[in-house]
Amino acid sequence: MGRLSDNTRGAVLMMLAMASFTVNDASMKSLAGHLPFFQAVFLRGVVTLPLLVLLARVTGGLDFRFGRRDWGLVALRSLAETAAAYFFITALFHMPLGNATAILMALPLAMTLAGALFLGETVGWRRWMAIAVGFVGVLLIVRPGAEGFNIYSVYVLLTVACVTVRDLSARGLSPGVRSMSVAIVAAFTVTAFMGLGSLGETWVMPGRRETALLLAAAVLIVGGYIFSIMTMRVGEIAVVTPFRYTSLVWALILGLVVFGDWPRGLTLVGAGLIVATGIYTLYRERRVRRRAETAR
């Protein structure tokens, strides 16, 4: 990719990150009915954690000398990460991959809303309208009261809330806190929680297929994290961030090819609204940021 511009490289890396995370989700979903929930997530963590520690040592990002305030934020972030993992993977075990991913696409809208409500960030009427339209998109996917609605759609919405808390916590960390160290604490917390949960399950010996899926999921989630880090080091964040939505394309393709699922018309319309309003929100935030920088 030597001849590509930084923004193009960043976009490609972002798409690779989203592909890695989504194929990881598909791998975990494929374990449903073959391995107990907590055991599956725990075993993935057992493989993922050493890989993250090795990556941190190689990149020089292994440093747990946090201040008391930062430890509090790291703890809150890790608990939110654990809750998000529980809700989202549980939902994946029981609903189509495309539907779950489509609802998760509302995260940028949720972050904008949370920034306005809890951080005092200024949000103009255009972005408020985008948030409202995006919420309509979520309702079209979830369809409360409609046939086919179930608790697992709510679980994905809870995932969005948990990830929002996770990311807001990360915003408050001191500049010197290493992101890899924060990720390792979160990975340890998730793995420990799932390990405790697995004690109440009857363990199943993984076969070759289950072992391969677990290893693939662990490698892919670490790969997704590496690509995400590389993405933030090249190109403009405002330019490459919209490419996060390519995860929905991967989810739709994998849902059809691997699981034989294809969302209904209203679900696709809702997903389109969420993606369109999310991209518009990112565009408006970029415009507002540029105006603020020009005014200085």
Q: Looking at the chain, how many residues does it have?
A: 296
The whole-model pTM stands at 0.88
| CA–CA separation, 261 and 251 (whole Å) | 10
For residue 1, tell me if it sits in a domain. no
pLDDT of res. 1: 44
Q: What is the C-alpha separation between 196 and 140, in angstroms, rounded?
A: 37
pLDDT tens digit sequence for 8-31: 888 888 899 999 999 999 999 999
What pLDDT does 243 receive? 85
Task: Say if 167 falls within a structural domain.
Answer: yes
Half-sphere exposure of 78 (CA within 13 A, CB side): 21
- CA gap 186, 82 in Å, rounded: 7
Does 215 fall in a domain? yes
Residue 244's closest CA among 264, 227, 221, 266?
Answer: 227
Q: Which residues of the chain have pLDDT under 50?
A: 1-2
Q: Residue 286: what pLDDT?
A: 72
> What's the number of domains the chain is made of?
1
What is the pLDDT, as a whole number, of residue 280?
83
Domain of residue 195: give its range.
Answer: 6-295
